[in-house]
A and B are shown apart, each in its own frame.
Chain A
């Protein structure tokens, strides 16, 4: 039983990191119809910025907050000067642009800070708490708490503020939003900025566990994409639940299903996707969209 609880909590913790990236992907996808493959790379860059700042003597928490702020502007700049050109064009080209961005950012991190692993200090203590025969790390709990807070903040932003309302309007129909006098371009920049912020938080949370490398987020990105599909593109809460589900299930499968083990546990979310999508092509929580000719 102890092992089981531990696996579930650890699964929720890693799932939270996937959830942060997945929310960022949904945010961008809702506003622009794009899947941003560079989201993981942007998160890595943010983590490197925070790490570089702490290296200069800035306290860790301040370094992370600064990197979050910088990420907001980087996200907005990327939208304004790179993605905007491709947003209404051929979606295949736009997807490849984000892939190019991923390659560029990963390469930039590797070029500036080498491909060696860097130690990134953890925000949370590395102690463990004994609970029901399980030893649960404070870091896992902290990661989960941060994620839940982020989710609540995001939800509050979307539902409780004027900015959130405008962002939703742009997401639903950019043309109508523009006709109603909303500054669509600026809102898209804000959307990308917020997505980058989510990525930056994910980066700061994952870097101490994996140690900082340019390719750190590659696997997390794949899981996040899985969560996005599984949860349904249109539902932020569904995406978070899916990310947690993936984190927990892959942990359990790795231990309790001998054939899967640690090397093949990456297959679990995709088997899950396969099964779910055959039954519900719109995802667990997504809405079915009707296409008009």
Chain B
């Protein structure tokens, strides 16, 4: 029995989901503070990467402005919290605000083909940073603003980091679930056709323009959610939050994790958070050098991103066996002998990919 077939059995799926849920409930209680904070940060940026994936991975429009919406969401959150608004209202505004701005930008930008959208979106962080500094009355200028609103309530008996991680897990899980349904449904198929060939999409009665606008708006909304979560975990925002460098890293994280992939978004979030920590440990002076090198090496070995790793390993194993085996002995027990299953890899993750 192949791995794929094994995972397609209903009870296996449900068991796996149950194990993940139990793990997500238990881990925050047992892990040290630093681990909890790191996981929470991964959640924040996984959501941001997921948003980028909707517009770029699934719809094929290169966006360099995703971090702007994260920053906007964070600023709306901090503004609402400092004015003692109801937190549910603040959350909704942090979703709606970026979505509206994203919609307005998309209405103009989606008229343009190809990389022109990238150029328009590059402007968002470039203009956003000085604008945030200029509007100092609202944004606190270069100093930034901080807001603590996610201390653990008394009745819960939890520590702050545990409480924050639970908030992140719940919201992240909901966003991932909704996005998964979106990209696997009717919209996801339309996105894939637009990505594959706009002319074909038009001839099928799918308006590339509207689907690009929808994808961009959804991505902005998800970016806003990431901004809210950013304030939950980091509790501080400044113009630096939406700097161009962060936007670039977000894009790199998406491709490294795996474009057009839900799991890839999680891996991308992990890359975003963990790689700077790793390179700092190795040599703080060479952080940028190492990050660039790691990025290039990953793309060289895995152009499809980390999510394609199981498939690549399976292929190597098959090739190794074909030529007498033994080239990658340590991976042999993981992969199953069925070549058909190996080529399938993680088929469901690549649905909607034209």
Contact = CB atoms under 8 A, between A and B. Distances in A.
A267 to B, nearest CB: 4
Contact of B199 (A99, A103, A293): A293
B127 A111 contact: no
Contact of B116 (A37, A96, A281, A292): A281
B120 A277 contact: yes
Contact of A222 (B108, B126, B255): B126
A218 B295 contact: no
B292 A103 contact: yes
Given A93-B299, A96-B255, A266-B130, A111 B289 contact: yes
Interface in B284-339: 285-293, 295-296, 299-300, 303
Interface in A93-145: 93, 95-97, 99-108, 110-111
A63 to B, nearest CB: 24
B120 A273 contact: yes
B156 interface: no
Interface residues of chain B: helix, strand, loop or mixed (majority): helix
Nearest to B289: A107
Contacts of B295: 96, 99-100, 103-104
A229 B64 CA distance: 15
A12 interface: no
A101 B248 CA distance: 12
Nearest to A293: B199
B251 A291 contact: no
B289 A110 contact: yes
Given A86-B303, A107-B291, A264-B130, A35 B296 contact: no
A281 B289 contact: no
Contacts of A99: 248, 251-252, 295
B56 interface: yes
Interface string A241-280: 0000000000000000000000110110010011001100
Contacts of A107: 286-293
B303 A274 contact: no
Contacts of A91: 62
A226 B118 CA distance: 10
Interface in A201-226: 214, 218, 222, 225-226
A281 B114 CA distance: 11
Interface residues of B, number: 47
A263 B130 contact: yes
Interface residues of A, number: 45
B118 A105 contact: no
Contacts of A277: 108, 111-112, 116, 120
B63 to A, nearest CB: 10
A85 B303 CA distance: 10
A82 interface: yes
Contact of A104 (B57, B60, B120, B293): B293
A293 B111 CA distance: 19
A85 B288 contact: no
A270 B199 CA distance: 28
Nearest to B297: A100
Contacts of A111: 285-286, 288-289
Given A92-B56, A100-B295, A110-B289, A270 B120 contact: yes
B133 A263 contact: yes
A57 interface: no
Interface string B188-206: 0000000001111001000
19 contacts: A82-B296, A90-B303, A92-B57, A93-B299, A93-B303, A95-B118, A96-B251, A100-B252, A106-B292, A107-B286, A218-B244, A228-B119, A229-B115, A264-B130, A267-B123, A267-B126, A270-B126, A278-B108, A293-B199
Interface of A: 35, 37, 82, 85-86, 89-93, 95-97, 99-108, 110-111, 214, 218, 222, 225-226, 228-229, 263-264, 266-267, 270, 273-274, 277-278, 281, 291-293
